[in-house]
């Protein structure tokens, strides 16, 4: 089964729909795939976007957002405690975009 977490990106801020930015255990107990789905403010229009996941000093491979809005959250990021998520983008005119990182508790 595929589970989904929603994120809203407004300029350089990222917010989740999770209560207290914590993923409930029941989302992870079955080994299901966990997807991140994003909604972006207009300044991200026409930008190529990737999600960046990290934990401590470890950065996981950037995840290209399919159709500009979804990606799989790496299983390694979901293992134990917490992870950080940020979104990076580049517009057709070459402008670089980046959110602050958001701490998500697991």
**pTM for this prediction:** 0.91
In CATH, the number for domain 2-105 is 2.60.40.3350
Q: What is the pLDDT of residues 52-81, one digit of tens each?
A: 999 999 999 999 999 889 999 999 999 878
Q: Which of 35, 102, 94, 42 is nearest to 65 (CA)?
A: 35
- Residue 11: DSSP 8-state: T
Least confident of 29-33, 42-46, 49-53, 75-79: 29-33
Residue 101 CB contacts under 8 Å (≥ 6 apart), including other chains: 14, 52, 54, 84, 85, 86
Q: Which of 104, 96, 103 is nearest to 12 (CA)?
A: 96
Closest CA to 102 of 32, 34, 1, 5: 5
């Amino acid at each position: 089964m595929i589970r989904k977490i929603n994120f809203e990106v407004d300029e350089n801020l990222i917010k989740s729909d999770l209560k207290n930015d914590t993923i409930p255990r029941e989302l992870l107990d079955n080994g299901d795939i966990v997807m991140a789905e994003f909604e972006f403010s207009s300044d991200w229009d026409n930008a190529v976007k990737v999600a960046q996941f990290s934990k401590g000093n470890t950065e996981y491979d950037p995840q290209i957002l399919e159709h500009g809005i979804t990606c799989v959250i790496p299983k390694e990021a979901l293992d134990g405690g917490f992870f950080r998520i940020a979104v990076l983008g580049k517009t057709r005119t070459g402008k670089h975009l980046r959110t602050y990182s958001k701490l998500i508790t697991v």
